[in-house]
Structure 1
């Protein structure tokens, strides 16, 4: 007999048919009613057991968390909350779950507790909903780029370059940490290492993606990146996924157009295809908001935030204009900001970004033309000599979600910037060489995937939107 999913059966077109379904028991009450879930949907299907015809040994094993195979007829439900149910004719225990030991019981668990049970937390409504939305977002990312003639490029995870110049990278080495080979200067001799040089886990696939854009035209990467930043906040992970398109012959204006169109496409995809999960997550977020002080509560529901992005044109504002707005804002004048804006050149914080989006413009914002001193070396220098063709996209609730730029395509200017920042030119010889052979205007951006999942699901801690979070002192699973 064909195996059906719970999602399929709840669609209601199998009425009076004999069906088979397999899943995990969420609850079993009155020795009669099983709430069964197989992960295909947020919703359970009720399975009605005839306890008089079911062996007592089997009944004892019908506990929360047990895996079962159920065969029976789909009938109209007599109870509230569901349209159909299964009248069970046969039930098999596939995997027992000792109720004394199984930690995911049918009650509210804290997110902190569930992080300690990362191997089992997917059995909860919250995490199954989040991960289905994550999967849908991932599919939409690839669909958008493939529909728009981008080529998917797998950039290296092991690299000898630091794309951001931040230096917070995880070293990759096969040398004996207790007795590494040393040079005459008593430094570690990386020539003796596996790759013959010092190598790390990548912080970005951008630089390598640029090389492929300059031959294929339009490319994107979507893969894991790593930051060895010793930060234990709700916004940081040591391992996360990045979406990074790079496009030849595209300037900053075109880059902003691309980013806005891309984001709206994937938000619409989730709204169209994850309605049940979003409804659950919205309800969950509303309950969470009630526990906050009034001043900290969001003015928008989850779906209102998503429509706020989808239905509004992104407001494009220069960094200089934004600084003027912030300097003259009430929170700044009354010193309500934690970081007071006093002069041009300040690095904007999340509170400033959110003020611009939520209070001043009441729309998603794209800030552009940032001071060169607070941006990366590869961004194109403007004619004023002090700003670069950078852009950040700001969202409600979280602030920056996208960072991008028109890349510096001029050899002499890029070389001068690399030298000024003390970056080893030998490590980026190939990146510089791109500017010697058929150089052209090109642009791209980076979108941290987990930030996007956070926004789409309403989850407040980034560790709850990735299956197995990696953070300082945490690599348990």
Structure 2
């Protein structure tokens, strides 16, 4: 049954209908205003679309300025000018939120810099670029969820407060009251994967899109302290199926109707490509070292000129939960590399065999030999002791997806995840307003990157 809303139509809905009406009311901000002798033209923005709606006023008050919030009553009539089929002929105008142009930080034609807008996040969202980015974010979320739901996946709410670190990197935020309140150390989750695997054992195909937190001290445009992660798990053990599903999901989300498959290359073959490239990398590629961001971008942007799956990494480079391949040296995993971003998604076949997982956890120092005491990882190992199914999954940083797709659509211009979320948090930045001050170490790091 098609949902019916009692809410008045948005500007997007009115423009889509293209119909003149006897009477309508529009509420929004003035994006621009142009005064002539007998008539004034104002472009009204309610956030629903990029175009806005032109309003025609015959008696215009001086209080109607850029940024002012207004409620306009009038008739939708056929537009006399190009660009829109209809415009609003205003009968009455009410200022519901005055805006002093002399103090409004967002000036109409001042060319506000990226850093200035980051320091005024509460107003940055009103810029056209950020509005379009937020709408794209919503559209991508809806498209991905529709694909997962149609594929039989169940959405699950996973915990934010946890006692386990899925990656084992030690970059989690600790909850100070955790031990006193919960009886054990507690952290903000860095990944929902280990909990999601418990949901998978019960429900088969599951996913979550939830906030994750990492005490990431890097000042690059690829990392945030708070970000959103799409994670999915399901019953299977085929790396080929895993890569194919991820490719189908993303092609559905971005509207890619081309029939060609994204290439796949093993980690060792990727190293050979990099070594043969004759590029001057800051970190020379080596089979015993992980790929760096510069390597990932070269593979996706220069060599393959598009998305590429790098599969079968050395076991020593990856976390304890990945299933070993028959060679005993590599694990059944992938990283999907895309232009402008590098790594977008990481996934793997999970180690479902109790004995193999126990050895991995011992080597990682997560459990102790002969120690039968319960610890934070006991429940994860217990899943393998009671009817374990072969399963696999992936995790995708949602902001990185926005950077990749947003750049293709002319959005997220800086290529930074900080422009892909409404209220970004990173080292030294949390509030919606910020006075830009970096300490000496951060300034040196920033200057090195710029040079």
Query: TM-score normalised to the size of structure 2?
Result: 0.87
**Residue matched to 2:74:** 72
Secondary structure at 1:367 match in 2: strand
Give the equivalent residue in structure 1 for 2:55. Answer: 47
Deviation at 1:345, TM superposition (A): 2.1
Show the counterpart of 2:372. none
Contact 1:312 1:364 in 2 (8 A): no
TM alignment of 1:52-451, pairs within 5 A:
59-107=61-109, 108-174=111-177, 190=179, 193-268=180-255, 312-331=260-279, 336-341=280-285, 343-424=286-367, 426-451=375-400
Q: Note the alpha carbon deviations across 1:347-404, whole angstroms, 9 max, x for none.
A: 1122222222233333421111101111111101122222111111111221110100
Q: TM-score, structure 1 length as denominator?
A: 0.83
Shift of residue 90 of structure 1?
Answer: 1.1
| Unaligned segments of structure 1, at least 5 residues | 176-189, 269-306
**CA–CA distance in 1 between the matches of 2:231 and 2:158?**
10
**Aligned-pair CA distance for 1:440:** 2.3
The change in CA–CA distance for 1:383 and 1:11 in structure 2 (over 3 A counts) is closer
Between the aligned partners of 2:260 and 2:118, the Cα distance in structure 1 is 36
Distance, in Å, in 1 between the alignment partners of 2:11 and 2:79 is 15
**Contact 2:66/2:101 (<8 A) preserved:** yes
1:269-289 CA distances to partner (integer Å, 9 max, x unpaired)?
Answer: xxxxxxxxxxxxxxxxxxxxx
| Maintained 8 Å contact 1:204/1:225 | yes
2-side partners of 1:16 and 1:157: how far apart? 48
Cα drift, residue 71 of structure 1: 1.4
Structure 1 CA distance for aligned equivalents of residues 210 and 397 of structure 2: 10
Q: CA deviation at 1:236?
A: 0.9
Query: Take 1:60 and 1:445, find their aligned partners in 2: how far apart are those partners?
Result: 56
Q: Does 1:471 align with 2:422?
A: no
- Offset at residue 84 of structure 1 (A): 2.2
CA–CA distance in structure 2, aligned partners of residues 99 and 171 of structure 1: 44
> How many angstroms apart in 2 are the aligned matches of 1:41 and 1:353?
35
Q: Quote the residue 2:30 is aligned against.
A: 25
Gaps spanning 5+ residues in structure 2: where?
1-5, 369-374, 433-451
Helix, strand or coil at the partner of 2:131 = helix
Q: Superposition RMSD on alpha carbons, in Å? A: 1.8
Q: Could you list the per-position Cα deviations for residues 135-190 of structure 1 after superposition, in whole angstroms to 9, with x for gaps in the alignment?
A: 11111222111111101111110000010000011011227xxxxxxxxxxxxxx4
1:2, distance to aligned residue in structure 2 (A)? 7.7
Report how far residue 311 of structure 1 moved: 5.3
